[in-house]
Amino acid sequence: MKNLPQNLSEKLEIRKQNNALRQLPNTTSLTDFASNDYLGWSQSELIFDETHQLLLDRNIKNNGATGSRLLSGNHQLYIETEDFIARFHQSESALIFNSGYDANVGFFSSVPQRGDLILYDELCHASIRDGIQLSKAKAYKFNHNDFEDLEQLIQRNPNTTIYIVTETVFSMDGDCPNLEELVSVSNKYNCYLVVDEAHALGVFGERGEGLVQMLGLQDEIFARIMTFGKGLGCHGAAIIGSLELKSYLVNFARSFIYTTGLSPHSVAAILVGYQHLEKDLIPILKLRENIVFFNQHKNMLSLKPLFVRSKSAIQSAIIPGNEKVKSIANQLHLKGFDVKAILSPTVPEGQERLRFCIHSYNSTEEISEVLTLLSTFAF
């Protein structure tokens, strides 16, 4: 078997020397402060059983999708699920993609056109950046959550169709933008606002609808990207918007057109997850209580200066240096806690961190213990 070309081997060696080589983690039985399964639904026997029952009730054989949705993969459950998602999110339409990555790549590669402008927050997710790279539009980043910087960029580009892109919860910092102010800027200049709600679904809002609906701004947003692999605990994503936007994506989003549709089982899992958001508020309330407790306890232990300010399920303690942050993560692992070290170059050098993900199923005792250990190891 041939080895890698020399230039690729050298890139791997540089990662090793910088103590930044990524490796697939082993499955562990540690206390989970690492996964994005905020409500614990990927582990839910109830949701698993209801998904299978739904397939039986609809007399759907789970033999997998057989092609693109434009060919033979558009089974009836897709239509039912997209209608449910659209109603839940108070929108005209929803279009399911196979993943959040596919949704972002499909949207940004097809919607903004040559001569248009994309202005995106500098901390936007890699999937958004990859989609933008495939676009024929020009793109500039604005300073994180800095809408004065954004407005200056808008003013430099008059008479241009402009798409503004942000996230409601940033995946590395866990912080949120001032959406009301952003909507005001967008409306002032007649821009198209696009919001990724991957880490807000199941976390914000009375029923986990996301931050946009919690603030009553759903009619002000051109497109919302909802990813299901976090709070919903299953595969897939959806782009929420107008019927006209859905029609456009069906015709021009290549990551939608040229891929095999999700199996009936995967789509059923999405529908059952949304049904639980609508009727089962206990996990959402418990998650919210745990986020409050985490913030209160880190303040009590004088850990607040380490952490990025966040009211979401993502709490990041900045501990500069790959070696140091990996060492503390390993010490926490030895004590039974799965907390991930986020290294450069995933984050900028000097911004390495421990990323704590809070869940509805974490106990207050677990939160208290892991933060107490952090205070011991970090100082």
Q: What is the pLDDT of residues 158-210, one digit of tens each?
A: 999 999 999 999 999 999 999 999 999 999 999 999 999 999 999 999 999 99
* pLDDT for the residue 73: 84
CA 327 to chain centre: 27
* Range of weakest confidence among 73-77, 81-85, 125-129, 131-135: 73-77
The pLDDT of residue 64 is above 70 = no
Q: Which residues pair with 225 in a beta bridge?
A: 196, 239
Q: Is 46 exposed, middle or buried (0-12, 13-18, 19+ CB in 10 A)?
A: exposed
pLDDT band for position 25 (cuts 50, 70, 90): confident
Q: CATH top-level class for 29-43+281-378?
A: alpha beta
**Could you give the C-alpha distances from 38 to 55, 170, 266, 288, in angstroms and in order?**
25, 15, 19, 10
Spatial separation of the C-alpha atoms in residues 137 and 374, rounded to whole Å? 45
The residues spanned by each domain of the chain are 29-43+281-378, 60-279
- Give the CATH fold of the 60-279 domain: Aspartate Aminotransferase; domain 2 (3.40.640)
Spatial separation of the C-alpha atoms in residues 7 and 368, rounded to whole Å? 47
The pLDDT of residue 63 is above 70 = no
Asked if residue 158 has a cis previous peptide bond (ω within 30° of 0), the answer is no
pTM of the model: 0.93
The pLDDT of residue 276 is above 90 = yes
Spatial separation of the C-alpha atoms in residues 124 and 225, rounded to whole Å? 13
* pLDDT for the residue 23: 82
DSSP 104-126: HHHHHHHSS-TT-EEEEETT--H
Per-residue tokens: 92 = 């005209």
The answer to whether the beta carbons of residues 236 and 81 sit under 8 Å apart is no
Residue predicted with more confidence, 16 or 371: 371
Q: Which of 174, 171, 198, 146 is nearest to 346 (CA)?
A: 171
Average pLDDT over residues 24-51: 91
Are 29-43+281-378 and 60-279 in the same CATH fold? no
